[in-house]
Amino acid sequence: DIQMTQSPYSVSASVGDTVTITCRASQSITKWLAWYQQKPGKGPKLLIYKASDLQSGVPSRFSGIGSGTEFTLTISSLQPDDFATYYCQQYHNYPYTFGQGTKLEI
Amino acid sequence: EVQLVESGGGLVKPGESARLSCEASGFTFNRASMNWVRQTPGGGLECVAFISSDERYIFYADSVKGRFTISRDSAKNSLFLQMDSLRGEDTAVYFCAREGIGFGGFMDYWGRGTLVTVSS
């Protein structure tokens, strides 16, 4: 199985800040990477797919970049609604695997 | 509006069985590939089963292979997960998730999940 490693495990930030989360794959996944946001008691919400394509309805302050084994999610101008846990997921092959999550805290 | 609503969770004893259901609405169910994804109490996410829109392809995580069975009923717009020989490590919230139609792998809609607790 492809291992996905996220960093940092948690990050503290303030409204208006810019935050970057990194995800590394144990082997090349080309651009088959998605990013999700999850809040307590809810299922994950898709933010980005194919490494950099923004899901419909997701604010443009979310952006993704990367290919191969290294990817980043950047959230610019943090809003109060952005404080949540973020996961990356590879879909290069099954089983699809997730990073361990990054908790974004105030 | 796309909706996925899971049901069937609860407390079960080790070695027993449970059957999860996911009722889908707001989209053409028989065009979508579907997944069951679980989240452990520690927060980790694991894809446990996949079924393609035409049921030609079915995949399982090694951790559940031979014990879990995924199925779907397009007439009822429903997805199922039959879980047999349950173990403590199967304790998790189980989500039903739709793959992006026409694409592969990423999941564009998720339910709220149903909790399965395996304990004596």
For residue B90, give how far its alpha carbon lies from the nearest alpha carbon of chain A (Å).
17
CA distances from B50 to A4, A106, B14, B85 (A): 19, 36, 24, 20
- Mean pLDDT (whole number) for A5-33: 96
DSSP B18-69: EEEEEEEESS-GGG--EEEEEE-TT--EEEEEEE-TTSS-EEE-TTTTTTEE
The answer to whether A49 contacts B46, with C-beta atoms less than 8 Å apart, is no
Predicted pLDDT of residue A106? 79
B12: Cβ contacts below 8 Å, ≥ 6 apart: B18, B86, B116, B117, B118
- Phi, psi (5° rounding) for residue B15? 90, -15
Residue range B19-63, pLDDT digits in tens = 999 999 999 999 999 999 999 998 899 999 999 999 999 999 999
- Phi, psi (5° rounding) for residue B88? -55, -35
The answer to whether A96 contacts B47, with C-beta atoms less than 8 Å apart, is yes
**Burial class, A93, CB count within 10 angstroms (exposed 0-12 / middle 13-18 / buried 19+):** middle
Predicted pLDDT of residue B102? 73
Nearest to B44 by CA among A100, A57, A38: A100
The CB-side HSE value for B49 (13 A sphere, CA atoms) comes to 22
- Given CA atoms B86, B92, B95, B100 in this order, what sign does their dihedral have? negative
CA dihedral B6, B83, B97, B61 (to 10 degrees): 160
- Mean pLDDT (whole number) for A35-42: 96
Predicted pLDDT of residue B23? 98
Instruction: Out of A49, A97, A101, name the one closest to residue B106 (CB).
Output: A49
Mean pLDDT, rounded, of chain A: 96
In chain A, which residues have their Cβ closer than 8 Å to the Cβ of B51?
Answer: none
For residue B85, give how far its alpha carbon lies from the nearest alpha carbon of chain A (Å).
21
Residues 50-89 of B with CB under 8 A from A: 50, 59, 61-62
Predicted pLDDT of residue B104? 78
